[in-house]
Amino acid sequence: MQRDWGRFNGIGMTSARTRARMVARLREQGIRDETVLTAMNAVPRHIFVEESLASRAYEDTPLPIGHGQTISQPWVVARMTELARQGKRLQNVLEIGSGSGYQTAVLALVADHVYTVERIGALVAKARRHLRELNLTNVAIMHGDGSAAMETSLQADAIVVTAGATLLPEALLMHLDVGGRMVVPLAVEGSSELQRLTVIERTANGFKEQTLEAVRFVPLLPGTA
């Protein structure tokens, strides 16, 4: 699919050149998946943050998006996408926590279909507006509780959870295909804020778990708002 996003290139700290520098930094930080790096270079991150923060959009830091939520730092977005992809084109991706839609947009460039769930109605509207601006038609957004069992028969080859879970969200595992991966920040024992990226892979014989880098996410909360 052709992307005509040149009109979103700003100037100065929102320019395509600044975004290219962000991608170069991601390479230096160990992101190796060129498909993911291409997606990160394509998506104009500055449209997913408040206008007053646009000049900081390509810094390697999370930024507030309102309602007590944040847009994840670029390295985290790239790393989670890389772990979910495991070097192959994704068909169906389930994302828990749409936020303002940035991670969703990156996933939409590396997957055939993205199904994303957000518990905060105002953020659902914001994400829909941003994704519509980019004409990303392979995304479906639902306002709902992503921490609970969902009334859908969706089977995904990747699940990306963009909020910190105290316990493994087992209700989501029923949506994971054999050979698929769930990437989730799981709480570190004894800490209320720190998590580690955790990969749960579904095999023919059950589930395998791998614990990776330390991260810091807002908590995965039940219910809707």
The residues carrying an active-site annotation are 72
Could you list the beta-strand ranges (E) of the chain. Answer: 63-66, 69-71, 90-96, 111-118, 139-143, 156-161, 176-187, 194-203, 206-216
Closest CA to 119 of 84, 140, 147, 88: 147
CB 185 within 8 A of CB 161: yes
Q: Say how far apart CA 210 and CA 57 lie, in whole Å.
A: 31
Coil, helix or strand at residue 22: helix
221 backbone dihedrals φ, ψ, rounded to 5°: -110, 150
Tokens found for residue 71: 């847009």
Bridge partners of 161, per DSSP, are 96
